[in-house]
Amino acid sequence: MKKLLLDVDTGIDDAIGIILAAKRAEVVGITTVNGNTSLDNATVNTLKVLKLIGREDIPVVRGADRPLLREPHFEVSVHGDDGIGGALKRMEIGEASPGFGPDFIIEQAEKHGGELTLVLTAPLTNMALAIRKEPRLKDWLKEVIIMGGAVRVPGNITPTAEYNMYIDPEAAKIVLHSGLPVKLVGLDVTEQTLLTGSEIERMQGNPEGQFVKDSTGGYMKRYEEITGLHACAMHDPFAVGVAIDPSFAWTERLHVDVETNSDLCDGQTVADFSNWTGKEPNIDVCLEADSERFIEYLVETIRL
């Protein structure tokens, strides 16, 4: 079983990613960060999802409550006021574990030396803080999977930027240039990895399936307004899937940078397909996905 540490801003699709990871991998812990919703909401939502699946043994550690330099920007229209579309409203939960997310990432990376894969499905603030504090992270981590960026397709928060990159581009720059073994799972592959109403019906039969149904109602509606499709993108679950089974996506190694200084293009991930920059490729970028097989795997997993 793969050993994973998740960094999340739970978020509807983060929540589904957490369920997938907990059922199919060994999750050593989860760090939370400001993003789709506030750090408080993201932490509460993570604790609720773990309680729902009976996995309160997985430690949840709070991280950064804002981007490195910029103001938070919550995605209420997609994820609702609470971050998970109003699902699990009445659930009582315990406390998060003590500590600070970036320190927990460092501790776990050292402890599991060479065996741990990080899956980052949120703005990269926690990871950037961890890298700044502990340069040896790159010797300790097996792989870093990032849900973020868009190299061949338009953005989903501005014409050019994907949300996680846009919220904290300064943090993203630190992570992309860190020398860590990074795989980018961006909109190029996640926007074609769609969960439809009929697949949600096939997930029914346990509390996890009910949660997917309850949390995705508004998300589907918003997605339908934008794309015309009655479906929603499984951004974060797909990143978890690629961490567990890399054959869900095909990658190309490219030089990738992120824009931090432009009114129009902040947060845009720029991949150098034609070697214009002459810079060494630094990132494995997912360009094609076996979305159909992944969605089947997700439906089966939720039913487990």
* Identity of the residue, 160 or 164, whose beta carbon is nearer to ligand BDR in the bound complex: 164
Window 213 to 272, contacts with Ca ion (CB under 5 A):
236
Shortest gap between Cβ of 2 and ligand BDR (angstroms)?
20
Q: Is 14 in the site for Ca ion (CB under 5 A)?
A: yes
* Identity of the residue, 163 or 248, whose beta carbon is nearer to ligand BDR in the bound complex: 163
Shortest gap between Cβ of 111 and Ca ion (angstroms)?
25
Q: Is 11 in the site for Ca ion (CB under 5 A)?
A: yes
Residues of this chain that bind ligand BDR (CB under 6 A) = 11, 13-14, 36, 75, 78, 121, 147, 156, 162-164, 235-236
* List 9, 13, 82, 168, catalytic entry: 9
Rounded to 5°, angle at Cα 47 from 44 and 48: 85
CA distances from 63 to 92, 105, 185 (A): 22, 10, 22
Residues contacting residue 46 through CB under 8 Å, at least 6 positions apart: 8, 10, 14, 15, 18, 30, 32, 60
Residues contacting residue 119 through CB under 8 Å, at least 6 positions apart: 4, 5, 6, 7, 17, 21, 145, 147, 239, 240, 243
Reply yes or no on whether 7 is catalytic.
Answer: no
Token digits of residue 71: 């103001």
75 contact choice in Ca ion, ligand BDR, none (CB below 5 to 8 Å, kind-dependent): ligand BDR
Residues contacting residue 251 through CB under 8 Å, at least 6 positions apart: 183, 284, 285, 286, 287
One-character DSSP codes across 134-147: -TTHHHHEEEEEEE
Partners of 103 in beta bridges: none
7 contact choice in ligand BDR, Ca ion, none (CB below 5 to 8 Å, kind-dependent): none
CA distance 118 to 141: 8
108 contact choice in Ca ion, ligand BDR, none (CB below 5 to 8 Å, kind-dependent): none
Max Cα separation, the chain?
55
* Identity of the residue, 14 or 143, whose beta carbon is nearer to Ca ion in the bound complex: 14
Shortest gap between Cβ of 290 and ligand BDR (angstroms)?
20
Shortest gap between Cβ of 216 and ligand BDR (angstroms)?
12
Interface map 96-135 toward Ca ion (x if CB under 5 A): -------------------------xx-------------
DSSP state of 247: G
Residues that bind Ca ion (CB under 5 A): 9, 11, 14, 121-122, 236
Catalytically annotated residues: 9
